[in-house]
Amino acid sequence: MSNVMKGLLYSASHEWVKKLNDEEVLIGISDFAAKELGSIVFVDRPEVGDTVEAETEFGAVESVKAASDLISPVSGEVLAINEDLVGEPELVNEDPYSAWLIKVRLDRPEELENLLSSETYEESL
């Protein structure tokens, strides 16, 4: 059984979104996605200053089993990347809800309304 963290929003492609304030969010992958991938060996993400678009690829996660595209749940500017993952991508496996991937300033905050609640996401699994 996968751990679904309460209070986060989720996409159907298994990314989570943590609202920091009205303009900024953190994005990561769910426990379900991390377990499905297996041992993560590399995380490819955009650079600070790049923009991401909702429902489009913004990077990839590579594991010993497979590579999987990361699909952005929201649109906006990348404000930060989690530098800890550069040398230790396995942190995503250890705690996917602490090992965020990117921090984004939202272009369209209303896109958050299209995401799943933790309860709905858990039911979808």
Q: What are phi and psi for residue 105, nearest 5 degrees?
A: -90, 120
| Residue from 65, 49, 56, 76 nearest 11 by CA | 56
Please answer whether residues 50 and 77 qualify as being in contact, where contact means their C-beta atoms are separated by less than 8 angstroms. Answer: yes
Q: What is the pLDDT along the chain (125 residues), one digit of tens a residue?
A: 689 999 999 999 999 999 999 999 999 999 999 999 999 999 999 999 999 999 999 999 999 988 999 999 999 999 999 999 999 999 999 999 999 999 999 999 999 999 999 999 999 99
Q: What is d(CA 60, CA 104) in angstroms, rounded to the nearest whole number?
A: 17
Per DSSP, the residues of 69-87 read EEE-SS-EEEEEE-THHHH
Domains of the chain: 9-120 (2.40.50.100)
Q: What is d(CA 77, CA 43) in angstroms, rounded to the nearest whole number?
A: 19
| Residue from 109, 101, 102 nearest 23 by CA | 109
What DSSP state is assigned to residue 51? E
